[in-house]
Amino acid sequence: MINIGIIGAGRIGKVHAESVMRFVKNATVKAIADPYMNDATIAWAKEMGINEIYTDYHKILEDKDIEIVLICSSTDTHSKISLEAISAGKHIFCEKPIDHDVNKIKEVMEALKNSNVKYQVGFNRRFDHNFMAAREAVKAGKIGDLNILKICSRDPGAPPVSYIKVSGGIFLDMTIHDFDMVRFMSGDEVEEVYAIGGVLVDPAIGEAGDIDTAIITLKLKSGALAVIDNCRRATYGYDQRVEAFGSLGQVAIGNDTDSLAVISNADGVTAEKPKLFFLERYMGAYTAEVNSFIQAVQNDTPTEVNVIDGLKPVLIGLAAKLSLKENRPVKIKEIEEQYGL
Amino acid sequence: MINIGIIGAGRIGKVHAESVMRFVKNATVKAIADPYMNDATIAWAKEMGINEIYTDYHKILEDKDIEIVLICSSTDTHSKISLEAISAGKHIFCEKPIDHDVNKIKEVMEALKNSNVKYQVGFNRRFDHNFMAAREAVKAGKIGDLNILKICSRDPGAPPVSYIKVSGGIFLDMTIHDFDMVRFMSGDEVEEVYAIGGVLVDPAIGEAGDIDTAIITLKLKSGALAVIDNCRRATYGYDQRVEAFGSLGQVAIGNDTDSLAVISNADGVTAEKPKLFFLERYMGAYTAEVNSFIQAVQNDTPTEVNVIDGLKPVLIGLAAKLSLKENRPVKIKEIEEQYGL
Amino acid sequence: MINIGIIGAGRIGKVHAESVMRFVKNATVKAIADPYMNDATIAWAKEMGINEIYTDYHKILEDKDIEIVLICSSTDTHSKISLEAISAGKHIFCEKPIDHDVNKIKEVMEALKNSNVKYQVGFNRRFDHNFMAAREAVKAGKIGDLNILKICSRDPGAPPVSYIKVSGGIFLDMTIHDFDMVRFMSGDEVEEVYAIGGVLVDPAIGEAGDIDTAIITLKLKSGALAVIDNCRRATYGYDQRVEAFGSLGQVAIGNDTDSLAVISNADGVTAEKPKLFFLERYMGAYTAEVNSFIQAVQNDTPTEVNVIDGLKPVLIGLAAKLSLKENRPVKIKEIEEQYGL
Amino acid sequence: MINIGIIGAGRIGKVHAESVMRFVKNATVKAIADPYMNDATIAWAKEMGINEIYTDYHKILEDKDIEIVLICSSTDTHSKISLEAISAGKHIFCEKPIDHDVNKIKEVMEALKNSNVKYQVGFNRRFDHNFMAAREAVKAGKIGDLNILKICSRDPGAPPVSYIKVSGGIFLDMTIHDFDMVRFMSGDEVEEVYAIGGVLVDPAIGEAGDIDTAIITLKLKSGALAVIDNCRRATYGYDQRVEAFGSLGQVAIGNDTDSLAVISNADGVTAEKPKLFFLERYMGAYTAEVNSFIQAVQNDTPTEVNVIDGLKPVLIGLAAKLSLKENRPVKIKEIEEQYGL
């Protein structure tokens, strides 16, 4: 039985705790820590069977019986806690992104080099059964050479403006998942990016210096083309689709729904809306990614989403940000050179 | 250029007239006759380019330049006019059913034997591009041996009770098309039928001695099973579907729509309703069946829906009627023997 | 924490054991018994964390700490073990059917009357998220009054003939689930049934005295009509669909798939096959039904599928069997009177 | 009866001739001209009932009884013939594009100003029943304010390289239809365009100086964003889809198929491929656009696709061409200023 410690008991920390306790064999959550630990969270943790509850996460890092930590704290603490956990010799599953600051990611990369620590970044969509099926089709050659990759990724509603302000902007907060999906689906690297966008959902998002609607085109190393479209508000739910088109055909993934019920009446023939949001759509993927990480730890194999996979989407995101600001295509190389990569 | 005369200028007569004048090459409607010819119909006929307009259909039968007649008059006149047209040596396309009375159909069969007249019955669904594609799949062996044939056939709304009273009952009026589809899709013959039904749409239909909702099961000669479900009222439009299931798989046909537009919003993901009713759903089929008949005349080949194909669904319909009345399975043979067939 | 004992460690016993151990909070499988307990099963049980492993199920009935038993043994032992478990004061979840012999079901009913034992029958489909959504739509009045209920239920392949011989026949073995679904979806009772069928899959099934393909029509108390079609072999997987059609519209449920991937190429536009079989399609339903039963025990509320719900489909199945044999519609009342019900 | 003269008897000229002769009431093709008129075309024309067959199109322009000309000749002659036809006082339906040279389009615009001639450009997709339904939904406010417009437009196979060389390049030859669709679907104007592309289908296309795969992003005046993806080769047929996403929801149009047949077997659940190519997909639209033009002539109302609608996509196409060449976003204004617009 592997002991896990979870750092951060917010929404995503709770998701992982419940997922491990209920669905992951051979692992248990021994401890959870959060600086804002409150009575409700304590009650929840106890009900989940988690007995060690802390405000200071160092208690987890100091616990010799804990082999794995899940870093689910706020983004600005990910790299710092990663470094401490590496020092403590814990295997690390870190929620995305590692950091908005590439230099801090570099520090984590450096520290990992001299350690035996397994490190996985929380790009959960790679573990979604639908996207995995599409990826398998691409890998199996069913579409031939990839020509055009299209990703549609829209949230059901915008987060509070207070969140937007510290989010790093739409490209590092929301599109970062799609940048990862471009790499995952294509098995290729992005070379250049161009972004257009606007404030079409809520002027307050614009006042906070961000946009809420965007289209990003990407050139891949192989010559294949990709495009992502994002919006912070889709009235019909969480819209998460992928199409990979190639020399032999296309594989497409639509939206999962709560049920397959279709009602026909005088108004039309109506199927259900896509699942509401990421917790609903990707619940299985959250379990699968942690299961995959535990297996990598147990079998001493590489993790499926390593620190480089954590870095690359940040670089693409920074390129997209610069592209939008200066209204020009930006090479990833340009960003890499800024950071001596 | 083949000259056609149309007998009966009601809804279906007009459909055929427009279809021939607009879509059928090498044929023209030279004359149209209807005992209730009125100013509106005369104006319509002239606009369509039909110059000879009669109240007495015998004028059509007497016209040496007319080679083909389409019998689109009321059902009770079909067999009588068929006999007269055979005498006059006209090729005949007769709307379904030939008659509700098997003896009168037998007279037509007898008269045809001693003539060179081509005779086709208006089972239009055989010429629908969708059902043809399903039939082709079955014929091509794509589902292997047929095991189960399912037909769903529901009207958008019930006809007036005055019509119900003279319709011959749901099985001879509405299900007759589905009985023909069983034969068409299977390429097989019906041996036995059992029907259940009720008055679930409108009590007035029950008072008129008919039912408005039914399920009919059929045993085919090959051992395959079939089932039809009917209702006089589907709020979402004309529901016309077929599923043929066999040893290698299944072919299914859904409902045609006016467009493929799908709207996603807070209410769900909504496609269009099926096309409203038979004119909308089967417009192409009405043209195709007459085209097919004209080709049979021109090439002197057998018609695709001959007088036997017109008889059989009537026999099945009579068996279904008896089955419902006596609540027992009825063999088609039992009906045939009644009529010395 | 509620202690559960599982009687029978065959396929369905294992499904329930894994489901409880992994997905059911507040319950654990304390013991499992099977007369044919072997090394592989013992190893499996230990890995699942089940420590008490017996060949004699009486050990479970004698264990004061076990509150609930799941009867997953062969059908012919269900009623006997039910009676013993009632005597032992255990709450009982019994796999379907309770028995093929109505008299034995009556004994269980009688014994339950004088006890405080909760009793639930394993009609798992009632707990499938898709069928629940359809049922909710019907209950919520979205289709108005039910007119026609259609159930398509086909297995991917036939079981061994050795199983067929002791199965009680297709209606008591396979269609019994569909008879339950008719009652569940309609909220109504079946009054009369008529069945046609044949041996279209495998002659050996016919030699064993059974059929492999059937269509069953049913008249419901409300006047609504229902139809079920069954086949033991669908090359494309487990075909499990429902359509409920009524005065205001229709709700339909299609087949669940492993993923939503759709591949377009020169061969067509191809979606995945339905999930392979019942374990794949109804895994979630197996967990949900036991969860529901545990809640009924904990909250002392009625179970969602009680002993009457276990009896009724057997009566309908016996009526269908008689109908097929004598080729006539059979009233459920006729069967009930045979058994003094 | 309106007399029409068709200039150009290639593929599209023939389509229009057949469409008018068969499906358009109140109009007839009086004459057809083509410099390369051959025996096969003469035979075809006679069979269609077109009696006046010329090599010199001036015969058509000189015919006082011809009110309308359809210019279906090679692109490089469109503007010259347009000018001559304006002088001759003929109403003009001109295939797209008017010209690749904006100055020549300007000459046509100038000539039209001083005439009473109706002028319509052959952007047939505006008359497709599916895209019309989507446009109607947008106009009716069903998606609220447009935020993101996505157009997928892929040919089943590339034309010969000889054609590619004189085509004006992918943006003026193929994407020009999509640029028109952006304007049609949005009811808005394009302000800026950015294009990426590559040679992924056939190196010979690259050697001819063109690309075969592209993604184009567009900024619209309202702030809405649009994206088009193109490829010259889709193994599964002519892929023509539109999604319009807005503040209240989304309307999407998929691909039309020859039939709705869906075959389920051991390989999956397979629907038909999209219709093969433009003649199959847009046959109805070709008739509808000419019908619409004839009505504009008869009722003296504006045409639905006027000369400005013919000009704009050319400007966008030139901007896209420049964008691809210089790898930068290009404002439409920049192109307009080049031509003094």
- The candidate with the shortest Cα–Cα distance to A310, out of A58, A107, A9, A139, is A107
Q: What is the mean pLDDT of residues B220-243?
A: 98
What is the per-residue pLDDT for C230?
Answer: 98
Mean pLDDT of C204-218: 98
Q: Quick check: A236 contacting B, CB < 8 Å?
A: yes
Please spell the DSSP secondary structure of A73-92, one letter per residue: S-GGGHHHHHHHHHHTT-EE
Residues 6+ apart with CB under 8 A from D183: D189, D190, D309, D312, D313
CA-only gyration radius of chain D, Å: 20
Question: Which stretches does DSSP call E strand in chain D?
Answer: 2-7, 27-33, 52-54, 68-71, 91-94, 119-121, 146-154, 190-198, 213-220, 225-231, 239-246, 250-253, 262-265, 268-271, 330-331
Q: Biggest alpha carbon distance in chain A?
A: 67
Determine the pLDDT at residue B160.
96
What is chain C's Cα-based Rg? 20
**Which residues lie across from A257 on neighbouring strands?**
A274
Where does the pLDDT of residue C22 fall: very low under 50, low under 70, confident under 90, or very high at 90 and above? confident
The CATH class of the D126-279+312-338 domain is alpha beta
Give, as one character, the DSSP assignment of residue D95. Answer: P
Q: What is the mean pLDDT of residues A175-188?
A: 98
Residue B317 identity: G
Query: Which residues make beta-bridge pairs with C153?
Result: C230, C240
Confidence bin at B22 (pLDDT 50/70/90): confident
Q: Categorize the per-residue pLDDT at A89 as very low, low, confident or very high, splitting at 50, 70 and 90.
A: very high
Phi, psi of A259 (to 5 degrees): -150, 170
Mean pLDDT of C188-193: 98
Residue % of chain C over a pLDDT of 70: 100
C-alpha distances out from residue A287 to A48, A70, A175, C287, Å: 16, 13, 22, 18
- Which of D:99-138 have CB within 8 Å of B? 129-130, 132-134, 137
Q: Where are the domains of chain A?
A: 2-117, 126-282+312-338
Half-sphere exposure of B64 (CA within 13 A, CB side): 0
HEC string of chain C equals CEEEEEECCCHHHHHHHHHHHHHCCCEEEEEEECCCCCHHHHHHHHHHCCCEEECCCHHHHHCCCCCEEEECCCHHHHHHHHHHHHHCCCEEEECCCCCCCHHHHHHHHHHHHCCCCCEEECCHHHHCHHHHHHHHHHHCCCCCCEEEEEEEEECCCCCCHHHHHHCCCHHHHCHHHHHHHHHHHHCCCEEEEEEEEECCCCHHHHHCCCCCEEEEEEEECCCCEEEEEEECCCCCCCEEEEEEEECCCEEEECCCECCCCEEEECCEEEECCECCCHHHHHHHHHHHHHHHHHHHHHHCCCCCCCHHHHHHHHHHHHHHHHHHHHCCCEEHHHHHHHCCC
Query: CA nearest B275 in A: which residue?
Result: A268
Using the beta-carbon criterion (under 8 Å), do D269 and C267 form an inter-chain contact?
A: no
Give the pLDDT score at A132: 98
In contact, C73 and C298? CB cutoff 8 Å = no
C211 φ/ψ angles, rounded to the nearest 5 degrees: -115, 165
d(CA D218, nearest CA chain B) in Å: 23
**CB count in 10 Å sphere of residue C55:** 12
Average pLDDT for chain B: 97
Rounded CA-CA distance C109/A306 in Å is 60
Of C217, C234, C248, nearest to B217 by CB-CB distance is: C217
What is the C-alpha to C-alpha distance for residues B138 and B147, in angstroms, rounded to an integer? 11
The helix/strand/coil state of A234 is: coil
Helix (H) or strand (E) holding B226: strand B225-231
Note whether C265 contacts A249, CB cutoff 8 Å: yes
Burial of B139 per CB tally in 10 Å (0-12, 13-18, 19+): exposed
Question: What global pTM score does this model have?
Answer: 0.96
User: Quick check: A223 contacting D, CB < 8 Å?
Assistant: yes
Shortest distance, CA A200 to any CA of chain B (angstroms): 17
Chain D positions touching A327 (Cβ under 8 A) are 329
How are beta strands A68-71 and A91-94 bridged, if at all?
Answer: parallel
Other C-beta atoms lying within 10 Å of the C-beta of residue A276: 13
Classify burial at A309, counting beta carbons within 10 Å of its beta carbon; exposed 0-12, middle 13-18, buried 19 or more: buried
* Rounded-to-integer distance, Cα D250 and Cα A237, Å: 11
Token pair belonging to A140: 């199996």
Unique residue bearing structure tokens 């509700």: B100
Residue C305 has pLDDT above 80, yes or no: yes
Name every chain C residue with its beta carbon within 8 A of the beta carbon of D238: none
**Chain C contacts of D254, Cβ < 8 Å?**
none
Subunit contact A215:D214, Cβ cutoff 8 A:
no
What's A275's DSSP letter?
A: P
Instruction: Give Cα A212 to chain centroid, integer Å.
Output: 19
Q: Which residues are CB-neighbours of B175 under 8 A, at least 6 positions away?
A: B153, B214, B216, B228, B230, B317, B320
pLDDT, one tens digit per residue, over A21-78 is 888 878 999 999 999 999 999 999 998 999 999 999 999 999 999 999 999 999 999 9
In the predicted model, is pLDDT for residue C24 greater than 90?
A: no
CA B286 vs CA A297, B31, B60, D261: distances in Å: 69, 19, 22, 20
8 A C-beta contact, residue C266 and residue D276: no
Per-residue pLDDT tens digits for B80-97: 999 999 999 999 999 999
Residue C162 CB contacts under 8 Å (≥ 6 apart), including other chains = none
- Taking contacts as CB-CB distances below 8 angstroms, the residues of chain A near B271 are 268-271
Residue B251 corresponds to which tokens in the numbers above? 């072919």
Q: Distance (Å, rounded) from C-alpha C52 to C-alpha C31?
A: 4
Check residue B90 and give its pLDDT.
Answer: 98
Cis? peptide before D97, omega within 30° of 0: yes
Residue with tokens 């209606």: C171
Say if residues B137 and B251 touch (Cβ distance below 8 Å): yes
The rounded distance, in Å, linking the Cα atoms of D229 and A239 is: 20
CB contact under 8 A, A219 and D196: yes
DSSP A7-26: E--SHHHHHHHHHHHHH-TT
Structure token digits, residue B109: 């069969």
Per the document, the length of chain D is 341
Confirm or reject contact between B233 and chain A (CB < 8 A). Answer: no
Q: Is B168 strand, coil or helix?
A: coil
Q: What is the pLDDT of residue D1?
A: 86
Beta bridge partners of A241: A152
Q: Count other C-beta atoms under 10 Å from residue A301's C-beta.
A: 11
CATH 3.30.360.10 applies to domain A126-282+312-338: yes
C259 touches chain D (CB under 8 A): no
Reported as a single tens digit per residue, the pLDDT across B321-340 is 999 999 999 999 999 999 99
Check whether domain B126-277+312-338 has CATH 3.30.360.10, yes or no: yes
Number of residues written out for chain A: 341
Nearest CA in chain C to D263: C270
Q: Calculate the CA dihedral of residues B329, B333, B336, B340 and round it to 10 degrees.
A: -140
pLDDT attached to residue B286:
95
pLDDT digits (tens, 9 = 90+) for A136-174: 999 999 999 999 999 999 999 999 999 999 999 999 999
The 8-class DSSP code of residue A219 comes to E
C-alpha to C-alpha distances, B223 to A321, B312, B331, C39, nearest whole angstrom: 68, 18, 14, 47
- State mean pLDDT over B15-33: 90
Contact A193, A237 (CB under 8 A): no
Burial A29-46 (b: 16+ CB within 10 A, else e): bbbbbbeebeeebeebbe
Distance CA D112, CA D302 (A): 13
- The reply to whether residue D271 touches residue C266, judged by beta carbons under 8 angstroms, is no
Would you state the CATH architecture of domain A2-117?
Answer: 3-Layer(aba) Sandwich (3.40)
pLDDT at A4 exceeding the cut of 80: yes
B28 touches chain C (CB under 8 A): no
Contact check, Cβ <8 Å, C213/B147: yes
Q: What is the CA radius of gyration of chain B?
A: 20
Structure tokens at C275: 């999930």
Query: pLDDT value at position B153?
Result: 98
| pLDDT for residue B108 | 98
Does A198 contact D225 at a Cβ distance shorter than 8 Å? yes
| A228-250 tens-digit pLDDT | 999 999 999 999 999 999 999 99
pLDDT band of A333, cuts 50, 70, 90: very high
Strands A250-253 and C262-265: antiparallel
How far apart are alpha carbons A209 and A262 in whole angstroms?
A: 42
How many of the other CB atoms lie within 10 Å of CB of A141?
Answer: 11
* pLDDT per residue as tens, chain D (341 positions): 899 999 999 999 999 999 898 888 789 999 999 999 999 999 999 999 999 999 999 999 999 999 999 999 999 999 999 999 999 999 999 999 999 999 999 999 999 998 999 999 999 999 999 999 999 999 999 999 999 999 999 999 999 999 999 999 999 999 999 999 999 999 999 999 999 999 999 999 999 999 999 999 999 999 999 999 999 999 999 999 999 999 999 999 999 999 999 999 999 999 999 999 999 999 999 999 999 999 999 999 999 999 999 999 999 999 999 999 999 999 999 999 999 99
Task: Give one word for A76, left, alpha or beta, with left for phi > 0 and alpha for psi -120 to 50.
Answer: alpha
Counting as contact any 3 or more CB pairs under 8 A, the partners of D are: A, B, C
What is the DSSP secondary-structure string of B26-84? TEEEEEEE-TT--HHHHHHHHHHT--EEES-THHHHH-TT--EEEE-S-GGGHHHHHHH
d(CA A163, CA A176): 16
- The residue of chain B with its CA nearest to that of D268 is B249
